[in-house]
Structure 1
């Protein structure tokens, strides 16, 4: 995840610790200050304060994210009206396709799922509300980037950062990724061809505010045989219809 620096260093450090622990099953004091890159004395004070406020919990010699963050997250989702507006649209799309449907937004430098409606079929796609995704390999990430300016894309994916390969089809070259984003703008939808997770495909479309700005995305996911090549265009048309319907409801 991209590190954001503000004029409040202490706050930046707290967020960096939270970001670090969000990808770990707990971490020790030594692991945190060494991997996050914060001075030993500052790390000790920050960890103690975060535990006191419930942002972290300590179990033996390890620190974990605290339940107060979970409470904040639930409140944030409750206050995000687009989620409530989107539920009937996603429900209709799920019923038409029998596939897992998501609503996501770009939060900082990461796409994040706001809502998930599970497929009624036996095959389950491993995702959850609040899950962060890869920008360059997920359908949701690519569609949220597609209508950004080149400068904005460069800020999210700096040249000095190698695009991580997850599968054989992951786009790891930034120039090729920008070409793919241009194609998405022409088609109006993004496709994840097992780029983020082997065997899983995804179709994603933008959701726009009344000014036409892309503020969210709807995606539909399934295993490869659920989104075969010969049905891809038809399924994409259903997701596009859902994206347009939600965009109209936001006006």
Structure 2
């Protein structure tokens, strides 16, 4: 790796300040980065000349992001492929836990699996990319449903009080589903406890894109013989981390903690 160029690093430091503050003054940049005032003014001038920053109309010495960054971001967004990124992260998570990992998207009341990496154990679940299942019976599906508003959920299940079951443990009532979705929103994890397959449990977390929208779910599936409270906790941490990594690769940035 080549030697970092100080001036370039400082210019990038300035741009990254705007991730948290949409408008900054020159004085604020000086304060936040502890750089000489002259250096900051020179860098701000260069970034403005190249359209990476623009002066706020009517507010001299206050800056906001310019169109050049939008153009670069648009090119980057065009290169992203959810299925490709999902397969890559799923492979990483599977290597960490040795269990089957899926990524799925929602289409109506169903989920469709777009990525899968099989367990390394002799006993594993059988699944396939492209498989479609009822969302309310799966961990990833319930996670994706939890991102919907009450109005959107009612539109998906209009006046429907009975839901189709895949196993004896599947949720069959809309009221129970709504109760469970509220719990999922609160804890940030969704569980499928033998609801789509009698012999399989899974834990899932949501994946968000650059707009903050939940666009997919990532899950780890485990035969019931390898599922206990300790495994539930460990896999919950792994799936949360994996979903965060996939979200980051899609451009999502969690709100900064103040």
- Using the size of structure 1 for normalisation, the TM-score is 0.65
* CA apart distance, 1:145: 0.3
What do you get for the CA RMSD once the two structures are aligned?
1.6
After the TM superposition, which residues 39-78 of structure 1 pair with which residues of structure 2 at under 5 Å, given as runs? none
- Can you list the C-alpha shifts for 1:65-111, whole angstroms capped at 9, x where unaligned? xxxxxxxxxxxxxx981111222311111011110001110123311
1:245 counterpart = 2:245: yes
Name the residue aligned to 1:180: 180
Structure 1 residues 80, 133: CA separation in 2 closer, same or farther (over 3 Å shift)?
A: farther
Structure 1 residues 160, 176: CA separation in 2 closer, same or farther (over 3 Å shift)?
A: closer
- Partners of 2:159 and 2:197 lie apart in 1 by 24
Answer whether contact 2:193 2:201 (CA < 8 A) is retained. Answer: yes
Computing the radius of gyration over CA atoms, which structure comes out larger, 1 or 2? 2
Answer whether contact 2:161 2:173 (CA < 8 A) is retained. Answer: no
Secondary structure at 1:248 match in 2: helix
- Partners of 2:165 and 2:206 lie apart in 1 by 25
Name the residue aligned to 1:106: 106
1:167 counterpart = 2:167: yes
1:150 counterpart = 2:150: yes
Answer whether contact 2:100 2:119 (CA < 8 A) is retained. Answer: yes
Larger displacement relative to structure 2 (103-112 or 177-186): 103-112
Name the residue aligned to 1:128: 128
Q: What is the aligned residue count?
A: 173
- Partners of 1:157 and 1:219 lie apart in 2 by 24
- Can you list the C-alpha shifts for 1:124-161, whole angstroms capped at 9, x where unaligned? 31210100011111111100100101121122222236
1:198 counterpart = 2:198: yes
5+ residue gaps, structure 1: 1-78
Runs (4+) off by over 4 Å = none
Secondary structure at 1:192 match in 2: strand
- Partners of 2:135 and 2:88 lie apart in 1 by 26
Secondary structure at 2:246 match in 1: helix
- Partners of 1:203 and 1:160 lie apart in 2 by 26
Secondary structure at 1:195 match in 2: coil
Secondary structure at 2:132 match in 1: coil
